[in-house]
A and B are shown apart, each in its own frame.
Chain A
Amino acid sequence: MAKLKIVSFNDGARSFILESFGKVVDKENYVVEMSDPSQRVLTPDGDEIRFDQFAGIKKGSEVFIKSDIVSLVRLAGELVK
């Protein structure tokens, strides 16, 4: 049976991916909830995420991943092996 491991996306598809999860970007360029734009999305470390820093998402409820190397390794390292 076919198995899908990873979905990747390019820089231009960031908005498309975020919209899939009900997220948009506010005036200050931070990722927010579409249903409540005053609510900025947070990483597990409690950081807000700028649009250009959004690197991905994984389950656990919704874990948003920033693009710095430590976040990538801590949150997605095992899934890419």
Chain B
Amino acid sequence: MSFLDKLSSIVKVDLSKLKNFKISILSGLKFQVNIVNNNTIQINPDKYPPEQQKKLQGILKEHFEKGGLIIEDLSLSRLEQFNQVDGSSQTQATLEYFKGKIPAQDLEILRYSIYLKSVFESGQSVTEIKQQLNERFGDRGRNICNLYSAGYFGTQIRPLYDSLFNQPNFSPEKFTQIYELIVTESPYAFFVSRATSREAVLLEITRKMETSRKYGIRNINIHGIGKGNEETIYFVLDKIRDKILQPPEILREGDVLVVKITFKTM
């Protein structure tokens, strides 16, 4: 008996006309079985007696043994969304450019950063995904995500590589050295987080300004999203007003605030 015959005998529906199809196991709904668009069989196991449920579970195992995937539907949607972003020519071009230029793990983080930015731009919450990336990749992951979201891979890192590459004494190590500084210290940027106190943000920006000066960098962009972070940014600007050229350049787009500060020469 074929796989489809077995399934037909359980759900009591003729499935022989289906070609490529999906099975969706949906507990807690009112129907027993439902066929959507001639390609998705929705089955509610709660509506079958225990013996039939066992047979259905056997079908799932058989699918699994053939190398099939069994996946929770929200995860499936997320994965499909990821694959759509990841497979776009724009994403592939970006990843192809950085392949071999940055560490393999950073390239992986960059993939997720591109996806994260796309989710953010579509108006969905990114809090959970950000947290997952932080747990998986730590501070480096967070920095790369922040840098990509704020456009620094396009506006700073790529031009930096191209500029170094065009110099006669170019070596990949030169780029790697500066790249490491960027992804560990983010000298061009500071990202204000709701989880950090105003005083801690002030301390960190002051420290970053000192570090940046050492490398001849005289600008930092302070990024914040939302009212609370905006208040923190203005608190910091007030505290460092004697150290920066006035007025700072302020860019605003919806909830997103970017303040470009230039340090005074000492």
Contacts and interface: CB of A to CB of B under 8 A. Distances in A.
A binds B: yes
B4 A2 contact: yes
B27 A4 contact: no
Instruction: Give the 5 A-B CB pairs with smallest separation, nearest first.
Output: A12-B27, A56-B71, A20-B57, A12-B28, A55-B75
Interface in A43-71: 54-59, 65, 67-70
Interface string B232-257: 00000000000000000000000000
B27 A7 contact: no
Contacts of A77: 79, 82-83, 86
Interface residues of B, number: 50
A20 B54 CA distance: 8
B25 A80 contact: no
A7 B75 CA distance: 12
Interface in B87-112: 87, 111-112
Q: Is the interface of B mostly helix, strand, loop or mixed?
A: helix
A72 B79 contact: yes
A3 B39 CA distance: 10
Given A59-B67, A67-B75, A70-B112, 4 more contacts: A2-B4, A7-B70, A68-B136, A80-B79
A: contact size bracket: 35 or more
A5 B115 contact: no
A72 B3 CA distance: 27
A2 B22 CA distance: 10
Given A6-B68, A68-B132, A77-B83, A20 B23 contact: no
B120 to A, nearest CB: 14
Contacts of B60: 7, 17, 20
Nearest to A59: B67
Contacts of A59: 64-68
A22 to B, nearest CB: 10
B73 interface: yes
Interface of B: 3-4, 15-16, 18-28, 45, 53, 57-58, 60-61, 63-76, 78-80, 82-83, 86-87, 111-112, 115, 129, 132-133, 135-136
Contacts of A69: 78, 82, 112, 115, 129, 132-133
A79 B69 contact: yes
Contacts of B86: 73, 77
A81 B74 CA distance: 16
Contact of B75 (A12, A13, A56): A56
A59 B71 CA distance: 12
Contacts of A7: 22-25, 60, 63, 68-71
Contacts of B27: 9-10, 12-13, 16
A8 B132 contact: no
Contact of B83 (A21, A57, A81): A81
A11 interface: yes
B74 to A, nearest CB: 8
A67 B4 CA distance: 29
- Residue among B28, B72, B87, B112 having the largest count of chain A Cβ atoms under 10 Å: B72
Contacts of B70: 6-9, 17, 56-58
Contacts of A80: 69, 71, 76, 79-80, 83
